[in-house]
Chains A and B, each alone.
Chain A
Amino acid sequence: MRINVRQFECAIVQYQSLIFTICLTMTKNYFDAEDLAQETFLSAYRNWNRFDGENPKAWLTAIAVNKCRDFLKSPARKSLPLPEEDAALLRDPGGLPEEQAEDRMSKEHIRGLCGRLKEPYRSVAESYFCDEKKLSELARESGQNIRTLETRLYRAKKLLKALWEEEQQ
């Protein structure tokens, strides 16, 4: 039996929270988790011909665990210190002593981190991570090219991953 891409998308909708939660639990980094969850589905898509069709949930779970394990073992994952060109895209945290966030997964905390980015990265990160906007919606509303937004989001994620790690130290 064959599946078309829409059906694959159904699987994303059904299992995205499970897969994201696994990645979050393993990496303890919200932004790395988002990336690895995406990688999980992309890898599932590429390797679907190796899947026996029996248990997509277990299959996706195993892929996610493998992705996170590879990531955690990889020495290259430490994004610190940021290269100068990236650090230049961050705003000064300001004079106030930073409060230790009680719940690092909270929207407030994530918004706080997005607020550390300079424009145009801050607004795309806030829309995507805090305001639950899809990039296509943002493109439509702002009249900006979606590829441009995508590039900005990619850059923003790199910075946010590093900020998250920095906090943890």
Chain B
Amino acid sequence: MNGLFLPDGHVENQVLLDFSEGKLGPEEMLGVAEHLGSCEICAERLAEAFDSGKPSAPPAGFAEEVRRRLPQRETGAELFLYSARVVLAACAALFLVFSGTLRTLAGTQNSYLDITAPGFSAVEQISSRLNGFSQQILHWEVFQHAEKKK
């Protein structure tokens, strides 16, 4: 594994770029992957290397499939730690992605405007909005329906 790692044990920049471009051989890739899986610093650097390349989008139904596979009893209830900042950014991204559809389908723009005032309470607001929205708009009602039938 010579030349893959820096003297401080982290992965070389060029190696991360090669990794993100799929240019590493199988052995090298696995060697680097072993470090990446347990080093958050290098994992972040790898994510950045990928960000500078061309991303491939998964199929449009991807998120819905993940949702369907979540442990069912916990859904909708209380969950986990997170950072408000990230949630806001992510929800904003969600809104950007779906806003076109959202407005048509929901027949209202109110919620769209809510997002312009981020803050702690906005997170709760957005999240409760999303509760209503996702069922209505993100086409998960079929899932809910199937769940009830079980």
Contacts and interface: CB of A to CB of B under 8 A. Distances in A.
B63 to A, nearest CB: 5
Interface in B68-89: 68-71, 74-84, 86-87, 89
B143 A48 contact: no
Contact of A34 (B44, B59, B143): B59
B57 interface: yes
B40 A58 contact: yes
Contacts of A151: none
A5 B46 contact: no
B121 to A, nearest CB: 13
Contact of A56 (B29, B60, B71, B86): B86
Given A20-B58, A42-B70, A62 B43 contact: yes
B44 A9 contact: no
Interface residues of A, number: 65
Contacts of A61: 36, 43-44, 46-47, 50
A51 B81 contact: yes
A100 interface: no
Contacts of B58: 16-17, 20, 34, 37
Interface in A28-82: 28, 34, 37-38, 41-42, 45-46, 48-49, 51-59, 61-62, 65-66, 68-69, 72-73
B55 interface: yes
B37 interface: yes
Given A2-B79, A11-B82, 18 more contacts: A5-B75, A7-B79, A9-B67, A14-B90, A16-B58, A17-B56, A18-B51, A25-B50, A26-B33, A41-B66, A51-B80, A53-B82, A53-B83, A54-B83, A62-B40, A132-B60, A145-B146, A147-B146
Interface of B: 19-22, 26, 29-30, 33-34, 36-41, 43-44, 46-47, 50-51, 53, 55-71, 74-84, 86-87, 89-91, 93-94, 97, 127, 130-131, 134, 138-143, 146
